[in-house]
A and B are shown apart, each in its own frame.
Chain A
Amino acid sequence: MRWNHVRAIAGADLRRLFKSKDYWIPLLIMASLFFVIIPLIMLAVISRLEHTPFVDQVTSMVGNLPAQVNEAARGDTPVARASYIAAVFLLAPIAIIVPVTISAAVGSNAIVGERERGTGEFLAHSPITMAELYLGKLIASLVPGYLALAVGFSAYALVVNLMVGPDLGGWFFPTAGWVVLILWVIPPFIAVALTVILRISARVRSAASAQQASSLVTLPVIVLSYAVSVGVVVSPGRSAFLIGAVSWVLALLLSVRGSKKLRRERLLGVASET
């Protein structure tokens, strides 16, 4: 594996992405919506407007949450506890939906895009190996999603600390569960989704087909990730570490397999359908 080749592939893709406003402006809007605007509105409603039907609903829902969640919740008043639970537990899925969606959008176009543009011809005739190309594409697809997560998560942390922190005696976010989720669990989850998406991108005939097929793949990944992320946030112990470890191993195995399946002919668009 020649890392300068991997860097070149990932670097060229990332440079193109950041120059394509058509690509990143909608994603920026989506990330802002999920990480800032929706949490801001939700927490403002809960923490500032007591005894509204919405807050009553949330506080009643809090009462029905698992005991583990209720025990973990901080705050002296029902509204403070509801705000804490909303900030820490209910919004956890955001952390996975946004990066997976962003990475899927990039990854689905990664290989079929080279073929459609004709740039795959140069790569097919170049001394780059298919493993280097695959890894470069994986990194180039993973970075935008994870970058959005890092920036969005920082913004989210700021929002919840500013909105809910005063009722809880200071800054409380991120919790240990969120740190484990962001640093240990989500990256391999995105990578696992991407290994499948890159396989699709190598096989389909057009970028539009790749995007359609990828959205079908990301949906179950998001549902699974939702369950896992809530579990990790609620209980960031040994099991969370284990989930992360298994995900990393799975991502590694699928990446190796994916790189071996990628054929040079695919870049030219002439591979037989066998």
Chain B
Amino acid sequence: MEPAIRFGSVSKSFGTVRAVEALDFEAPTGAVTVLLGPNGAGKTTTVRLATGALVADRGDIEVLGLRPQVDGDEVRRRVGIVPPKPAFYDQLTGWENLQFAASIYGVDEHAALDAAERFAIDHALLQEVGGYSTGMRTRLALARSVIHDPEVLLLDEPTAGLDPESSRNVLELIRDLAGRGRTIVLCTHLLHEAEGVADQIVLMSNGHARVSGSPEELTGRYLADPVVVFDAEDRSSLDTLVDRQGVLSVSPNGAVQATLADIDSLPDLVADLVRDGVRLTRVEPITPTLEELYFEMQRTHSEEPS
């Protein structure tokens, strides 16, 4: 299947500042792609280039098989966006703001109401947006972004400034939209935000896509050695763990965290320990967090020559 978004060697500068440099990445159709990187990595510029709001200095961009620089209006008609700081006409009500968006996208008011109901902001539509909380504004921005039922949704730091509960709700909404087959690109510097929603991760820094792949692929590439936590009634009985076959290293930290050469060796290792009289109370393979993955990727690439 054709990717929904494809960037090929795309560069964009503002004066002397290189916002995006030779950026290559693809966002698969119907998947959640997370652009992960620190502030200033070029995520927002990437989103702006995808809709044609900015024009690239060099390189090729395709969105839904169209070139934003040529077919910008058609691309923008089929793409929805939540900017990092959603802004509205504060003197107008939520409903008037949605009506405005509906007029721009050429959809009727039922679509506006449906979108508001989906993001649970319909109860506040008659209030002026100036009186909305940050969470309400984000919900209204999400409603506005899907008013025209876009095929691609670009979410740029959608949980910025939200309390944990509102953030979780937003992430659930993203999962819901992904479940409906929409292509989603989520820009974030928050690792917990990407955790659990990402089908693909693109690690960005200094305007480059350093690495991309599914979390599983990246874990296999950067954190290939499995880690297992062991604990026992007598922790000193685990001192011999480091010398056993298939154990690469151990790091005692209360319980012992052992890095194995192969996860398939775990049953034999447990059997050996039991045979040697070790009374195990815990054997838990650890799935690496995105945070561990992120910092491992950052560490690996910072060691590469630029």
Contact = CB atoms under 8 A, between A and B. Distances in A.
Given A117-B87, A127-B77, A272-B15, A8 B51 contact: no
B60 to A, nearest CB: 19
A124 B53 contact: yes
B92 A16 contact: yes
A270 B92 contact: no
Given A19-B92, A117-B89, A118-B87, 12 more contacts: A4-B106, A12-B92, A12-B100, A20-B91, A121-B87, A122-B81, A122-B101, A125-B51, A125-B81, A127-B73, A264-B53, A270-B14
A224 B103 CA distance: 39
B30 interface: no
B53 to A, nearest CB: 4
Scoring B73, B86, B91, B92 by chain A CB atoms within 10 A of each residue's CB, the highest score goes to: B91
Interface in B37-78: 48, 51-55, 72-74, 76-77
A19 B91 contact: yes
A116 to B, nearest CB: 10
A interface SS class: helix
B85 interface: yes
Contacts, number: 81
B91 A122 contact: no
Interface in B86-117: 86-92, 96, 100-101, 103-106
B55 A265 contact: yes
15 contacts: A5-B103, A11-B100, A12-B89, A15-B96, A118-B86, A121-B87, A124-B51, A125-B51, A127-B74, A128-B104, A264-B52, A265-B53, A265-B54, A267-B53, A273-B15
Identify which of B53, B73, B79 gathers the most chain A CB atoms within 10 Å of its CB.
Answer: B53
Contact of A268 (B48, B77, B100, B144): B48
B207 interface: no
A11 B88 CA distance: 15
B215 interface: no
B218 to A, nearest CB: 30
B83 interface: yes
Contacts of A70: none
Interface footprint category on A: 20 to 34
A7 interface: yes
Interface of B: 14-15, 48, 51-55, 72-74, 76-77, 79, 81, 83, 85-92, 96, 100-101, 103-106, 144
Nearest to B55: A265
Given A265-B53, A272-B15, A126 B88 contact: no
A270 B12 CA distance: 12
A57 B128 CA distance: 55
Interface of A: 2, 4-5, 7-8, 11-12, 15-16, 19-20, 117-119, 121-122, 124-129, 264-265, 267-268, 270, 272-273
A3 B225 CA distance: 61
B101 A15 contact: no
A22 B128 CA distance: 16
B134 to A, nearest CB: 13
A7 B104 CA distance: 10
A19 B92 CA distance: 8
A125 B76 contact: yes
Contact of A125 (B53, B88, B92, B100): B53
A181 to B, nearest CB: 34
Nearest to A129: B73
A127 B147 CA distance: 13
Nearest to B90: A117
